Amino acid sequence: MSRFICGKLSRIAPYVPGEQPRDKRYIKLNTNESPFPPSPRAVTAASQEAARLELYSDPDCTQLVKTLAKRYAVNEDEIVCVNGSDEVLNFAFKAFCDAERGAAFPDITYGFYKVFAEFHDIPYEQIPLNEDFTIDIKPYLGINKTVFIANPNAPTGIALSTEQIEEILSSNPDNLIVIDEAYVDFGCESCVPLIKKYDNLLVTQTFSKSRSLAGARLGFGIANPAIIRDLNTVRFSTNPYNVNRMTLAAGAAALEDEEYTQTNCRVIIENREYTARRLAEMGFKMTPSSANFLFARHPGVSGITLYLKLKERGVLIRHFDAPRICEYNRITVGTKEQMDTLLNEISKILEEET
């Protein structure tokens, strides 16, 4: 830390991304990326665009917005495109929270909500999940705060129903409710259609998981036009060229290859159910996941031990050391082959440890 850093920033605990070690080749099941490459159409579109990189990107993201509007059955002025959905979450904290209107989110959820709240100096309330890691919606009803909920939640994978989200929306007409649908394509109902009924709803999605474009950094927000205008005020006050040319082209092409995305999501869901079944046979306890990961613990081996032993054997999973969840690990669902390697290594570790 330099002696020039301002007080608040010197105390902040930044977000810690999942490790990306380079010491050997790992089976990477720790950051919820897709095990599949991007659609070939997205790869071609991006490489064609590479030859035009002397020009700035389109600040209005015109072609991508058109394609998204068609795909999600909303109007073009109901969409904002961003550099990964983390960016739209950051913008939302900036635009819709302050010292008077704080933020609220579950105690166990995506770690970035807390980081953004602290970064923007916003008071926040962490509402405990139930014992079984489901979200109790009662504390959110009529709460005088901006609410952030990942649906399905991370790292639990548990989804709220659309009816539950509607209850939160209708009891908070004067508070913005942000629903982070990063994992929605893996078997959870989207609440995008609700933006027509509730002007206090912002839905965020990403191309990082189901569309295999984590490295391209592309996300978007869908909401009523006034909310989108506010987000654009923040966007044009920070970086109007936030989405680069190659990513804009890759994103539109990936969206047009919906069949490719759907097929990959189906495979991931099948592999998730297969892996959950096999892990349960080995004695693991898991939350019911609607996402591309499993959240699992074993009564005979601690969370940290399983994580470390798997890492030694070349398989990376994600361990969190927060007290309520330190016996668990989050395991990204990969290909069938990767899952079989994982299961094999786990059964050997269990033989040693139990």
Ligand X SMILES: *Cc1c(COP(=O)(O)O)cnc(C)c1O
- Straight-line distance from the first to the last Cα atom of the chain, in angstroms, rounded to the nearest whole number: 45
Nearer to ligand X (CB atom), residue 165 or residue 346: 165
Nearest residue to 304 (alpha-carbon basis) of 281, 288, 332, 327 = 327
Residue 31 C-beta: closest distance to ligand X, Å: 8
Which is closer to ligand X, CB of 154 or CB of 253?
154
Minimal distance, residue 186 CB to ligand X, in Å:
11
Nearer to ligand X, 8 or 71 (CB): 71
Mention every residue, 6+ apart, whose C-beta is less than 8 A from residue 276.
286, 289, 294
Q: Virtual CA dihedral for 171, 176, 177, 179, nearest 10 degrees?
A: 160
> 17 or 142, CB closer to ligand X?
17
Beta-bridged to residue 27, according to DSSP, are: 315
Residues 6+ apart with CB under 8 A from 134: 158
User: Please, what is the minimum distance in Å from the beta carbon of residue 83 to ligand X?
Assistant: 8
Q: Are 248 and 57 in contact (CB under 8 A)?
A: yes
Pinpoint the alpha helices (H) of 210-335: 225-238, 245-256, 258-281, 303-312
Q: Kindly tell me which of 16 and 99 has the beta carbon lying closer to ligand X.
A: 16
- Which residue minimizes CB distance to ligand X? 84
Alpha carbon distance 179, 177 (integer Å): 6
Binding site for ligand X (CB under 6 A): 32, 84-86, 110, 150, 154, 180, 182, 206, 208, 214, 219
Q: What are residue 111's phi and psi, to 5 degrees?
A: -65, -20
CB of 300 to ligand X, least distance (A): 29
Q: What is the nearest approach in angstroms of ligand X to the Cβ of residue 268?
A: 14
Q: What does the radius of gyration of the chain's CA atoms come to, in whole angstroms?
A: 20
Give alpha helix (H) positions in 239-282: 245-256, 258-281
CA torsion sign for 276, 190, 255, 252 is negative
Closer residue to ligand X in complex, CB, 33/49:
33
- Residue 209 CB partners (closer than 8 Å, separation 6+): 32, 33, 34, 182, 183, 185, 186, 292
**What is the nearest approach in angstroms of ligand X to the Cβ of residue 204?**
7
Closer of 93 and 110 to ligand X (Cβ): 110
In this complex, which beta carbon is closest to ligand X, that of residue 147 or of residue 150? Answer: 150
- In the bound complex, what is the minimum distance in angstroms from residue 329's beta carbon to ligand X? 16
Distance between CA atoms of residues 3 and 10, nearest Å? 10
Helix 62-72 / helix 245-256 crossing angle, nearest 10 deg: 30
Residue number, 157 or 303, with CB nearest to ligand X:
157
CB 206 to ligand X: min, Å: 3
